[in-house]
Structure 1
Amino acid sequence: MFDVQKIRADFPILSREVNGKPLTYLDNGASAQKPQVVIDAITRAYSHEYANVHRGLHYLSNLATDHYESTRAKVARFLNAGHEDEILYTSGTTEGINLVSYAWGMENLRAGDEIVLSILEHHANIVPWHFLRERLGVVLTWVDCAPDGSLDPQAVIDAMGAKTKLVAVTQMSNVTGTRVDVKTICHAARERGIATLVDGSQAAVHGPVDVQDIGCDFYPITGHKLYGPSGSGAIYIRAERQAQMRPFMGGGDMIDTVGRETITWAKPPLKFEAGTPGIVQTIGFGVALDYLMGLGMDQIAAYEAGLAAYATERLATLNWLSVQGTTADKGAIFSFTMEGAHAHDISTVLDKRGVAVRAGSHCAMPLMEHLGQSATCRASFAMYNTRDEVDTLVSALELCRDLFG
């Protein structure tokens, strides 16, 4: 059985107070807290096992390399990749998408080629494509969501034209919690020979992912959202797409031979991993994935679905609160506004009650413009949050209403 209290005990920060109140941490969409096993792994790696990887033949280098490289197989298992060589280490989803933009996009796209995006995208899945718009002259084609925040996969498919070379879409919105039917989109794109990138930053945290079933070409994830260290992450790149890519950066580890006039590359994934990497961050990331897979992603998804349903029910009683995104199967992410109070003011009041939420545009300005909002508050829940914390949020929002109403 999923024991949330036992899980909470694994996260030392959850027992602290903020402003004299028990911490209610609801900013998980930005970054999740870390379990003790991850903290211990980081401490152990720096204290007793640290050396550079891939370079030395001595004991510590071999030990660090083994622990560092073991994460690759864990990511492959977590995403159900066909082979661990399809997993590239990154500092997170932002680097992963930029890698695709430079290493695949610059090599394979030309002026007039089209990239299809949804309005739900985070800036990390927008800005790198703007780079290609500016530098190559590619065209960005946008697909809007419905008023309830849902995204019709057929609308994305209909936007694919003769010049479409890439579809880049999130699996879960970081603003509305909307879940996107990326499998339908990716299978339709593959039938047309169109590459697909699915932003997995939010979705991968909340339930099982199977990239082979989805049928995507690129799937980036972020370690710090998956209860691992910041500066860690990975991207799945299907082997056929890797063959179409040039190296992202040049330096150590990504080469086979270097001469005065010639250079040959290492085989993937090292071909795309130049320089000394985030060794300890990646080791910690692997431990975080072990922790999640030990709990079971299906179990996490089921628990969070119940939590999301309860939060939806409780927030619906606040008829003066406007929630952005109301699809029935949305994830446990709630962005909201309150008449008469700016999102920053709401966040400040909640903080005084020990409730941590995010306020602003959430790195999704096109979506916020589409929703007609300049800023919202966002409460994003994780597997360690409880119904009591939902009640704490509601009570703090009622206090806001009293102050600003």
Structure 2
Amino acid sequence: MQESYPIDVDTIRADFPILQRRVGGDISTPGEDEDDTVPLVYLDNAATSQTPKQVVESIVDYYYGYNSNVHRGIHSLSQEASVAYEDAHDRVAEFIGASGREEVVFTKNTTEAMNLVAYAWGLNELGPGDSVVLTEMEHHASLVTWQQICKRTGAEARFIRIDDDGRLDMDHATELIDDSTKMVSVVHVSNTLGTVNPVADLADLAHDVGAYIFVDGAQSVPTRPVDVKEIDADFFAFSGHKMCGPTGIGALYGKQEILEEMDPYLYGGDMIRRVSYEDSSWEDLPWKFEAGTPPIAQGIAFAAAVDYLDDIGMENVQAHEELLAEYAYDRLSEFDDIEIYGPPGDDRGGLVAFNLDGVHAHDLSSILNEQGVAIRAGDHCTQPLHDKLGAAASTRASFYIYNKKEEIDALVEGLEVARDLFA
């Protein structure tokens, strides 16, 4: 009997040629015998998703058809590239519910977006007696960035506790977010626990004391509908390579009135309006934050990835993610020797981090790789969280639009191999 999914997985898989790969053995030489290889089962999507043909073709079209720098040429190629790059900002803004391109700055990734705000806003606005409130489940992109800015400015970094199920202690959040707080920085969906945080409630707490909120949407924008206005986020960041897009491109959303007041983070070409030997003035939003030649091809492909996901429907993407996450949680919960981190399977994003008793996460990842199963092993850029969990590392399986339940079954079968090896 054919499995029922919220989306047409087989049709989607056909858009991703890499999923037809076989791995293992030595297949680097043409004509090599593939009898010792196995089909690829890609379950590392929280790190990087795969890229469909339609997005790759948008990059090829740019380089073959109108490759040129933007905002600097009168000739046809430059004009075409400029329009496409600017339209990409509009498309991404529409996707997350922003008011327009003025509120969307293209960056390399979520990490750069976080650093942009930390340096352009934080160094100027924070000082002794101020606090920045984070959570114990923050990715290093948020935790390390604000930690170091607090060290430079004399502000205090505070951390909202998590409970035994990996959810935020909202009573503790209410205690920590007070009149000293100037910024609340919170991950929307934890890349380790799978916890979906109540970011709109945290935004209310921040705004009640006159603070801003920065939401790390690296794991939410790819997997569920997001409206930055409904959340009432002051800043929101995400990465293209986790949502069918290319690497090297991400976005920072910021409320226009806040971005207008901020000084640039990087200086140089294209972000200036007028330059003299004595002083300079800045270009309009968002260009004042995009110094130098931007990631033109990546930006255009970013918009193509948004189009691809919109064609599927983000409500459908979320339903598929949740179905797979619950199935994986239930399958892994069948075994007494597996510890799963985070909330129950019916209340999490599309990933499951766990450990198998007696097998280090890195060893387990290596064994699974021999079975063709690609997962993540390590601390997932959440070292302090792993310290709190009492785990040096964990194994993480994460799912996306092209994954099936059979691939989760393959993961479970690979765990049996690991048990036998370490018995």
Structure 1 counterpart of 2:31 = none
Structure 2 counterpart of 1:178 = 195
CA contact (8 A) 2:138 2:186 kept: yes
Work out the CA distance in 2 between the residues paired with 1:246 and 1:162: 25
CA contact (8 A) 1:157 1:189 kept: no
Is residue 140 of structure 1 aligned with residue 157 of structure 2? yes
Per-residue CA shift, 1:167-207, capped at 9, x if unaligned?
A: 00000000011110101110221122110000000011110
Structure 1 counterpart of 2:11 = 6
Structure 2 counterpart of 1:17 = 22
Q: Which amino acid aligns with 2:362?
A: H
Structure 2 counterpart of 1:363 = 381
Q: Which amino acid aligns with 1:400?
A: A
CA contact (8 A) 2:136 2:161 kept: yes
Per-residue CA shift, 1:49-104, capped at 9, x if unaligned?
A: 20000100101101111111111111111110122211111111000000000111
Work out the CA distance in 1 between the residues paired with 2:142 and 2:56: 30
CA contact (8 A) 1:16 1:22 kept: yes
Report how far residue 16 of structure 1 moved.
0.7
Is residue 198 of structure 1 aligned with residue 215 of structure 2? yes
1:381-392 to 2 correspondence within 5 Å? Answer: 381-392=399-410
Structure 2 counterpart of 1:239 = 256
Structure 1 counterpart of 2:143 = 126
Is residue 275 of structure 1 aligned with residue 292 of structure 2? yes
Q: Which moved more, 1:152-161 or 1:316-325?
A: 152-161
CA contact (8 A) 2:42 2:374 kept: yes
Structure 1 counterpart of 2:104 = 87
Q: Which moved more, 1:325-334 or 1:261-270?
A: 325-334
CA contact (8 A) 2:160 2:169 kept: no
Is residue 100 of structure 1 aligned with residue 105 of structure 2? no
SS at match of 1:126: helix
Q: Which amino acid aligns with 2:40?
A: L
Per-residue CA shift, 1:214-240, capped at 9, x if unaligned?
A: 011000010101110100011100012
CA contact (8 A) 1:153 1:182 kept: no
CA contact (8 A) 2:203 2:233 kept: yes
CA-based RMSD of the aligned residues comes to 1.1
Work out the CA distance in 2 between the residues paired with 1:183 and 1:162: 19
1:151-190 to 2 correspondence within 5 Å? Answer: 151-190=168-207
CA contact (8 A) 1:108 1:244 kept: no
Cα 1:231–1:222 shift into 2, 3 Å? same
SS at match of 1:205: coil
Task: State the TM-score, normalized to the length of structure 1.
Answer: 0.98
SS at match of 1:189: helix
SS at match of 2:202: helix
Q: Of 67, 72, 85, which aligns to 1:68? A: 85
Is residue 262 of structure 1 aligned with residue 279 of structure 2? yes
Work out the CA distance in 2 between the residues paired with 1:339 and 1:155: 32
CA contact (8 A) 2:181 2:209 kept: no
Q: Which moved more, 1:103-112 or 1:174-183?
A: 103-112
Report how far residue 164 of structure 1 moved.
0.6
CA contact (8 A) 1:255 1:264 kept: yes
Work out the CA distance in 1 between the residues paired with 2:211 and 2:61: 45
Identity rate, percent: 43
Structure 1 counterpart of 2:365 = 347
Work out the CA distance in 2 between the residues paired with 1:403 and 1:334: 23
Count of residues paired in the alignment: 405
Work out the CA distance in 2 between the residues paired with 1:307 and 1:84: 34
Work out the CA distance in 1 between the residues paired with 2:175 and 2:91: 36
Structure 1 counterpart of 2:391 = 373
Query: Structure 2 unaligned runs (5+)?
Result: 1-5, 25-36
SS at match of 1:165: strand
Q: Which amino acid aligns with 2:406?
A: D
Task: State the TM-score, normalized to the length of structure 2.
Answer: 0.94
Report how far residue 383 of structure 1 moved.
1.3
Work out the CA distance in 2 between the residues paired with 1:31 and 1:252: 31
Q: Which amino acid aligns with 1:10?
A: D
Q: Which amino acid aligns with 2:394?
A: T
Structure 1 counterpart of 2:69 = 52
Work out the CA distance in 2 between the residues paired with 1:185 and 1:92: 24
Report how far residue 262 of structure 1 moved.
2.0
Report how far residue 44 of structure 1 moved.
1.6
Q: Which amino acid aligns with 1:124?
A: A
Report how far residue 126 of structure 1 moved.
1.1
Structure 1 counterpart of 2:59 = 42
- Displaced runs of 4 or more, over 6 A: none
Query: Structure 1 unaligned runs (5+)?
Result: none
Q: Of 125, 134, 139, which aligns to 1:117? A: 134
CA contact (8 A) 2:178 2:209 kept: no
Is residue 301 of structure 1 aligned with residue 301 of structure 2? no
Work out the CA distance in 1 between the residues paired with 2:347 and 2:172: 19
Is residue 251 of structure 1 aligned with residue 276 of structure 2? no
SS at match of 2:222: helix
Q: Which amino acid aligns with 1:6?
A: T
Is residue 30 of structure 1 aligned with residue 35 of structure 2? no
Work out the CA distance in 2 between the residues paired with 1:9 and 1:262: 54
